[in-house]
Structure 1
Amino acid sequence: MTIKRGNVVSHSGATQWGAGKVIEVTEMRATIQFSDGIVRKIVSSHYGVLLPANPSSFVPIAEGIPVVKVRAAAKRVKKAAA
């Protein structure tokens, strides 16, 4: 299988990742965003474990979902020495 930008693939050894969309291909590796929301880099020597997947099986993570941020505790002000 030839890996090209825009292809939808699945990893034969990690089906729990879901389908992935190839977002970048270099001589050494492919960068793939999988349906589980994680972007992974697969080295070219492991392209054999990537299988073509149905394009409709790729479900990107919605970017509009707000991320809950944990607020840091308020800084305490030191009292001046009397």
Structure 2
Amino acid sequence: MEADRAKEAQTAVRNALDSLVVAANAAGWSTHEIILAIIEAGTFLKDANTADPDPAEDFAINDVAREQIGHGEQYD
């Protein structure tokens, strides 16, 4: 069920974020600083997903370069 998956995802993310905050605190970052960084990173990921919801379908940069070899492109 979709609601169960969402709850499982939230739990997994919360656990990972809790571990990240603990590690960041141990490295000298404040919880507030890390929370702000997490929010910014989350916003970036959300925007990137909105722009390209399935990046796995995109060519990797190395694949693009490989496709251009021998075709008079800049990677020759």
TM over 0.5: no
The structure with more strand, counted as a fraction of residues: 1
Q: TM-score when scaled to structure 1?
A: 0.24
Q: TM-score when scaled to structure 2?
A: 0.25
Higher relative contact order (CA 8 A, sep 6+): 1
| Structure number with bigger Rg | 1
